Structure 1
Amino acid sequence: MKENILETLKNLNFTEYEAKAYLALLQESPLTGYAVAKNSGVPRSRIYEVLDSLAMRGDILVSPGSTPQYSPVPAKELIKNRRMKAEENFELAEKSLAEFERSANDRENIWNITGSNEILDKVKACILSAEKRILLEVWKEEFEELESELRQAAKRGVNVTIIAYGEIVSDFANVYLHYMGHEITEEYGGRWIVISGDDSEVLAGIVSLGKDSRAAWTMHVGLVMPITEVIIHDLYLMEIMEKHRELLEESFGKNLVDLRHKFSIHPDFKKHYVR
C-alpha cells in the first residue's frame, strides 16, 4: 500500500525522497528534520535539502524556531493545488501551441486582402510587429496614413527605410526619393505599396483603387525572399542613379525610359496588371 502511495506522489512531481518525507509527515506531525529523516528513511545528509524543496513548493509548512518543526499541507489541499496548477499549465500549453500552430500556418499561407483601408490596417500590423527593419515602397498619400506607426517603430529602434514616390520628408526614416514617381503612377494605373518586415513577412499590392484595391500578405519564404530583394535592388538603383544619373540617362534615356520600354510587352508601354 505504502509503495503505491509513493508511486502516486512521484506521478505528482515528487522525487522519491520528497514523497517519503511528505508521507512520513502525513503519518505524524509536526516533526523536526531529524525525526522526519528517522521516520521516512531519507538520509540525514539530504533531509533538509528535501524539506526546503517541499516548503518552497508549498507542500509542507515550517514553524520557525531554534529547532524548526515541519507539518504537511493536508492531502486534499495538496491534490487541489496540484490540479489547479495542472489546469493552468494545460491552458498555457493550449494557448502557446495554438499560437505556434497559427504561426506555422502563417508561414505557408498567402492572404488576399481587399480594400485600401483593410490593406493599410495590415501594413500597420506589420509595422507594429517589426523589431529590426522595415523596408517600404510607398506613395505620399499612404505614407501620411502610416506616419504615426512608422515613427513609433523608429522610436523602438527599428530601422525604417522608405522608397518614396512623391515628396516624402521624414526625420526618423531613411528616405530615397524615386526618380520617376509620377511617370510610374501613370504607367501602372495606380499606386502600389510594398513592405517587408524583418525579412520575414511581406505585403504587396495596389492600394489606390478604394474598395477594389488588392494586396497579398505572407510569411512564405518563397515570396518573402524575392519581394524583399526587389526592394533592396530598388535601393541599389536609387544609390546608383544618385551618383551616375548623367551617364545612365545618356545610355538609357531620361529616367531610364529606354530600359522600361525595352522590357514592356504592351504597345503603349504601360503596365496592365490592373484591369
Structure 2
Amino acid sequence: MKESIFATLKNLNFTEYEAKAYLSLLEESPLTGYAVAKNSGVPRSKIYEVLDSLTMRGDILVSPGNTPQYTPVPAKELIKNRRKQAEENFELAEKSLAEFEQSANDRENIWNITGSGAILDKVKESILSAKKRILLEVWKEEFEELEPELRAAAEKGINVTIIAYGEISSDFANVYLHYMGQDITEEYGGRWLVISADDSEVVAGIVSLGKDSRAAWTRHVGLVMPITEFVIHDLYLMEIMKEHREILEGSFGENLVNLRRKFSIHPDFKKHYVK
C-alpha cells in the first residue's frame, strides 16, 4: 500500500525522503524532527533538510519553540493546493507558449499594411515599443503625424535619428535634412516612410497614396538587416556630403545627378514604382 502511495507522491514532486516524512506525519503528529526520522526511516542527517523543504512548500506546518514539532497539511488540502498550482502552471505555460509562438511567427512573417492611416498606426506602435534607437526616413507631412510619439520616445532616453525629406526641425531628435529632398519627391512621384526600431523590426512603404498606400511590417532578419543598413548608409552619405559636397558634385554633378542617371533604367531618369 505504502509503495503505491510513495509513487503517487513522487508524481506530485515529492522526493523519496519527503514522501516518507509526510506519510509518517499523516500516521502520527505532531512529531519532533527526531521522531519523524525514527518513524519514517529518513536518515537523521537529512531529516531537517527534508522537513525544511516540506515546510517551505507548505506541505507541513511547524510550531516554533525550543523543540519544533511538525504536523502535516491534511491530504485533501495538499491535493487542493497541488491542483491549484498545476492549473496556474498550465495557464502560465499556455500564455507563455502562445506569446513565444506568436513572437516566433512574427520573426518569420512579412505583413502587408494597406492605407496611410493603418501604416502610420503601425509605425506609432513600433515607436512606442522601441527601447534603444529609432531610425526614421520621413517626409514633413508624416513627421507631423508621428511627432508626439517620437517626442515621448526621446523623453524616455531613446535615440531618435531622422533623415528628413523637406524642412523638418526638432528639439528632441537628430535630424539630417536630405540634400536632395525636393528632387527625390519629384523623381519618385510619391513619399515613402522607413522606420527601424532597435534594429529588430521595420516598417517600410509608400504613404502618399491615401487608401492605396502600401507598406510592409516585419521582424524577419532577412529584411530587417538590409533595410536598417540602407538607412544607416543614407546617414553615411549625409555626413559625407556635409564635409565634401563640393568635391563630390564636381565629380557627379549637382546633388549627384549623374549617379542617379547612371543607375536609372528609365529614359526620363525618373522612378516609376508608383503608377
- Structure 1 and Structure 2 fold alike (TM over 0.5): yes
In structure 2, the residue matched to 1:250 is 250
- Output the CA distance in 2 between the equivalents of 1:82 and 1:156: 43
- Output the CA distance in 1 between the equivalents of 2:143 and 2:71: 67
Q: Which shows bigger deviation, 230-239 or 255-264?
A: 255-264
Q: How does 1:76-95 map to 2 (within 5 A)?
A: 76-95=76-95
* Residue segments in structure 2 that go unaligned for 5+ positions in a row: none
In structure 2, the residue matched to 1:59 is 59
1:121 Cα deviation after fit: 1.0
* Residue segments in structure 1 that go unaligned for 5+ positions in a row: none
Q: 1:65-96 deviations in whole A, cap 9, x for unaligned?
A: 22222111111111111111111111111111
1:113 equivalenced with 2:109 (yes/no): no
1:268 Cα deviation after fit: 2.0
State TM-score, norm by structure 2.
Answer: 0.96
In structure 2, the residue matched to 1:227 is 227
In structure 2, the residue matched to 1:127 is 127
1:29 Cα deviation after fit: 0.9
In structure 1, the residue matched to 2:190 is 190
In structure 1, the residue matched to 2:205 is 205
1:178 Cα deviation after fit: 0.4
In structure 2, the residue corresponding to 1:107 is in which secondary structure? helix
1:156 Cα deviation after fit: 2.9
In structure 2, the residue corresponding to 1:14 is in which secondary structure? coil
Q: How does 1:1-275 map to 2 (within 5 A)?
A: 1-275=1-275
1:2 Cα deviation after fit: 0.5
1:11 Cα deviation after fit: 0.9
Letter paired with 1:106: D
- Output the CA distance in 2 between the equivalents of 1:13 and 1:180: 69
- Output the CA distance in 2 between the equivalents of 1:171 and 1:36: 72
1:158 Cα deviation after fit: 2.1
1:151 Cα deviation after fit: 2.1
- Output the CA distance in 2 between the equivalents of 1:211 and 1:93: 40
- Output the CA distance in 2 between the equivalents of 1:216 and 1:150: 20
RMSD of the TM alignment (CA)? 1.2
- Output the CA distance in 2 between the equivalents of 1:168 and 1:252: 27
Letter paired with 1:51: L
1:20 Cα deviation after fit: 0.8
**% identical equivalent positions:** 86
1:146 Cα deviation after fit: 1.4
- Output the CA distance in 1 between the equivalents of 2:127 and 2:26: 58
1:236 Cα deviation after fit: 0.8
- Output the CA distance in 2 between the equivalents of 1:235 and 1:181: 14
- Output the CA distance in 2 between the equivalents of 1:174 and 1:8: 64
In structure 2, the residue corresponding to 1:229 is in which secondary structure? helix
Letter paired with 1:215: A
1:113 Cα deviation after fit: 0.1
Q: Which shows bigger deviation, 5-14 or 61-70?
A: 61-70
In structure 1, the residue corresponding to 2:160 is in which secondary structure? strand
For these two proteins, the number of residue pairs brought into alignment is: 275
- Output the CA distance in 1 between the equivalents of 2:266 and 2:142: 29
Letter paired with 1:187: E
Letter paired with 1:107: R
In structure 2, the residue corresponding to 1:208 is in which secondary structure? coil
In structure 2, the residue corresponding to 1:137 is in which secondary structure? strand
- Output the CA distance in 2 between the equivalents of 1:63 and 1:146: 63
- Output the CA distance in 1 between the equivalents of 2:41 and 2:151: 66
1:172 Cα deviation after fit: 2.2
1:213 Cα deviation after fit: 0.8
In structure 1, the residue corresponding to 2:31 is in which secondary structure? coil
State TM-score, norm by structure 1.
Answer: 0.96
- Output the CA distance in 1 between the equivalents of 2:245 and 2:12: 74
Letter paired with 2:26: L
Q: 1:26-58 deviations in whole A, cap 9, x for unaligned?
A: 111111111111111111122111111111111
Letter paired with 1:159: N
Q: Which shows bigger deviation, 151-160 or 131-140?
A: 151-160
- Output the CA distance in 2 between the equivalents of 1:242 and 1:149: 29
